[in-house]
Structure 1
Amino acid sequence: MSKKFRVGVIGAGIASRHLSGFSWNKEMFDVAVVCSLDEDRGAALCEEFGVPEYTQDAETMIARSDLDIIDICTPPGSHFALCRKAIEAGKHVICEKPLFGSIAEVDEMARIVARAEGPRLMPIFQYRYGSGLQKLKMLIDLGLTGTPFLTTIETHWWRGADYYAVPWRGKWATEFGGGLLGHAIHAHDMLNYVHGACAEIFSYGATLVNPIQVEDTAALSVKMKNGSLATLSMTLGSRKEISRLRFCFSDLVVESIVEPYTMGRDPWTFIAGTEAHQKRVDDALAGYVVKEDGYTRQFELFHHALTTGGQPPVTLEDARNSLELVTAAYHSQRTGVPTKLPILSDHPLYHSWLPEEERRQAAGA
């Protein structure tokens, strides 16, 4: 029988989706405690998911010897400190997106994890595990797509004033960014998941929809390290919400569905250039084994990594690629020129992509 890991969850918002993912993997995980400063929401989650204990004391919870995993579902500003405390306490960590507020923090956390010699940290990118996207990954692995040419990704959602009534949203200091960081990040992770890292980014960004500090509309042109190109568009001002991914390869065109929040799921379309190649593709797709998706699948794969000693299904390097894309986009928006990647320690936004005024305020705090 495989090991069952005991989990402590911090947060009571997106945590509900994590608890659903754990509940579908009851033989792998036992959620022992929920920690939240909001007692009403925290206690309600405990009741809904049968979690036996509620607390408001994160530090004491992290230090408990009977917990194996700390699952961090709090606003972005608290992620780094909580991850550090949990890793240094010898716990494995799951942490929601956006992982941290700078490339420097990702690199520092990599050093913290390495020093700890055992604990694993897994960032959340659950959208990767939809069957449509997984079928594309399978076809790439089988050599059936050919050379990549162009990818287009649209994240066109709607967020009104009610969304920004939550105090930490829409502000550089607490949300770290706008739609590029908090909304399109999943679709853009799919770009890196399929094609690897970006090489250069040019971006326009604007705040057009709501009176907030951060961007809610952006357009990006991207060169990938594999030689292909990509165009990415994001707005939180689309009255009809869609997410769409389209991949053009020499031997195949792949299109996602347009459902805004589950675009990784079936039915995707896979159109080959010839009848003979279409048959090869269709035969391969017929052999695809459908698995769970979303948080359920990512947690299942994390369990496998922990029990076999492997790397988590989503790594710090994956989070770095994602945050590099955002950092480069912000730098390009402010300089008016393309930004090359990778973002290294000598880059002006390596330690923070916050605008200068917000950076000074954060330093003063």
Structure 2
Amino acid sequence: MTTSETEPGTHPPRPAPLAGRRIRAAVIGTGAIARDSHLPAFARLAEEGETEVVAAVDIDAASVESFCAEGGVPHAYTDLDRMLREQRPDLVTICTPPTLHRDQTVAALRAGAWVWCEKPPVPTLADFDAVEAEEGRESGPYASIVFQHRFGSGTRHVRRLLAEEAMGRPLVAHCQTTWYRDTAYYAVPWRGRWQSEGGGPAMGHGIHQMDLLLDLLGPWSEVRAMAGRLVHDVETEDVSTALVRFENGAMATVVNSVLSPDEVSRIRIDCARATVELTHLYGHRNADWRITPARDVPAEEAAAWQDFGTDVPSSHLEQLRELVASMRAGQRPRSSGADGRTSLELIAALYKSAFTDATVKAGEIGLGDPFYTAMHGEAPGWAPAQGVSA
């Protein structure tokens, strides 16, 4: 794939202003996540008059043809640059493996399209910064990450309570992504490898809950971690644990595992006046949140905390709806730029701490640090040349 010869941060003009017309979208990669999550979200917004999917791209001609036929998408491509040149979409959603994300995102941005990219957005912080350098200077286009757990009525309500310190100052938190993946899962050649998957459960599974924790509690300041290969014969870890301190003083434990038969995703935050807990697996509704007030909290105040409003589940749809609103306003969307980078930086710091047996501070990993350009940081026993073969 080639990219256009455009200076970073400068983009060709769009065909017409976004106001008063549907946003033209294209889907890159036509696998399960595109079919099951992205296309239905676009279909719903199409019903509302907001979007239309004008094209899809995949290197597998049969896959993209069937995707377009099933989804009513008019144009199927096997070449990304040709699609960008001929269709000139306003928005590109990227549903391909992580190693392709950087080049595809840059190509779309240089073509003037906004980008919505599945997690992990790119394999390294260096890649993320290279993508950010291609974004528009003032009003886009911008590249955002699919972090759908941030969106929905439950998260919105709890984020407001925490920001206002209605339940008191946040003190202690737990963030848990304990899932189960068997040997058949890792029999797929690209899984469990740094180059193709970008990392183990911290990068590919727990990133959603860690991002949600950061969205609720704000910036982190330092991390101390451990990682291991306890079951699977892979290059990456299959379990990690971390202690995280936040700028607001709160302290958290984080566990990411693919070794846990009783699967659960959980966040618990103990504040001075209440505990708020979210327990779910791959998505949440209002009923998945629980707020337990301290014994001395007045009943009327505690009852107000329980009012989550109309139930809006976390979903690709809710994030896409907000992204479209940001596009129309010419504003940077959430989960992009510095706001999106913080979760990737925490994961890089987790790996650095685990592989070097040291506490890692926020902002520490930059140019010249091996963990800036590779999540394994060339650490003995973890870098591909020295690690366990997948």
Please report how far the alpha carbon of residue 244 of structure 1 lies from its aligned counterpart in structure 2 after TM superposition.
Answer: 1.2
Please report how far the alpha carbon of residue 269 of structure 1 lies from its aligned counterpart in structure 2 after TM superposition.
Answer: 0.7
2:345 paired residue number:
324
Matched, 1:22 2:42: yes
Alpha carbons 2:178, 2:260 under 8 Å: kept:
yes
Matched, 1:129 2:151: yes
Correspondence 1:328-339 to 2 at 5 A = 328-339=349-360
Please report how far the alpha carbon of residue 313 of structure 1 lies from its aligned counterpart in structure 2 after TM superposition.
Answer: 2.5
Residue deviations 1:246-270 (CA, integer Å, cap 9, x gap): 110111100112x321246533111
Residue deviations 1:337-357 (CA, integer Å, cap 9, x gap): 111112333533122223428
Relative distance call for 1:311 and 1:292 in structure 2 (3 A) is farther
User: Given residue 41 of structure 1, which amino acid in structure 2 is its aligned partner?
Assistant: S
Unaligned runs of 5+ in 2: 1-18
Relative distance call for 1:283 and 1:265 in structure 2 (3 A) is closer
**RMSD, aligned CA:** 2.2
2:292 paired residue number:
271
Residue deviations 1:153-182 (CA, integer Å, cap 9, x gap): 111101112222332211111111110000
Which of 355, 366, 374 is matched with 1:352 structurally? 374
Correspondence 1:205-284 to 2 at 5 A = 205-257=227-279, 259-263=280-284, 266-274=287-295, 276-284=297-305
Residue deviations 1:48-81 (CA, integer Å, cap 9, x gap): 3221222111111122354111111110001111
Relative distance call for 1:104 and 1:49 in structure 2 (3 A) is same
Alpha carbons 1:87, 1:116 under 8 Å: kept:
no
Which of 11, 18, 22 is matched with 2:29 structurally? 11
Larger CA deviation: 60-69 vs 225-234: 60-69
Which of 64, 67, 73 is matched with 1:42 structurally? 64
Relative distance call for 1:115 and 1:167 in structure 2 (3 A) is farther
Relative distance call for 1:51 and 1:152 in structure 2 (3 A) is same
1:302 paired residue number:
323
Which of 185, 188, 199 is matched with 2:210 structurally? 188
2: distance between equivalents of 1:333 and 1:228?
21
1: distance between equivalents of 2:316 and 2:275?
28
SS in 2 for 1:202: strand
TM-score of the superposition, structure 2-length normalised?
A: 0.86
User: Given residue 5 of structure 1, which amino acid in structure 2 is its aligned partner?
Assistant: I
2: distance between equivalents of 1:341 and 1:101?
18
Relative distance call for 1:227 and 1:153 in structure 2 (3 A) is same
Please report how far the alpha carbon of residue 284 of structure 1 lies from its aligned counterpart in structure 2 after TM superposition.
Answer: 4.8
User: Matched residue pairs, number?
Assistant: 360
2:307 paired residue number:
286
Please report how far the alpha carbon of residue 129 of structure 1 lies from its aligned counterpart in structure 2 after TM superposition.
Answer: 1.5
Unaligned runs of 5+ in 1: none
Correspondence 1:48-59 to 2 at 5 A = 48-59=70-81
Alpha carbons 1:131, 1:266 under 8 Å: kept:
no
Alpha carbons 2:219, 2:247 under 8 Å: kept:
yes
Relative distance call for 1:65 and 1:116 in structure 2 (3 A) is farther
Larger CA deviation: 180-189 vs 210-219: 210-219
User: Given residue 330 of structure 1, which amino acid in structure 2 is its aligned partner?
Assistant: Y
Relative distance call for 1:346 and 1:280 in structure 2 (3 A) is farther
Matched, 1:84 2:102: no
SS in 1 for 2:287: coil
1: distance between equivalents of 2:299 and 2:57?
51
Relative distance call for 1:153 and 1:292 in structure 2 (3 A) is closer
Alpha carbons 1:130, 1:266 under 8 Å: kept:
no
2:16 paired residue number:
none
Alpha carbons 1:71, 1:93 under 8 Å: kept:
yes
2:12 paired residue number:
none
Runs of 4+ in structure 1 off by over 6 angstroms are none
SS in 1 for 2:135: helix
1: distance between equivalents of 2:91 and 2:223?
36
Matched, 1:199 2:221: yes
Larger CA deviation: 184-193 vs 120-129: 120-129
User: Given residue 107 of structure 1, which amino acid in structure 2 is its aligned partner?
Assistant: D
TM-score of the superposition, structure 1-length normalised?
A: 0.92
1:171 paired residue number:
193
2:13 paired residue number:
none
Relative distance call for 1:277 and 1:33 in structure 2 (3 A) is farther
User: Given residue 102 of structure 2, which amino acid in structure 1 is its aligned partner?
Assistant: F
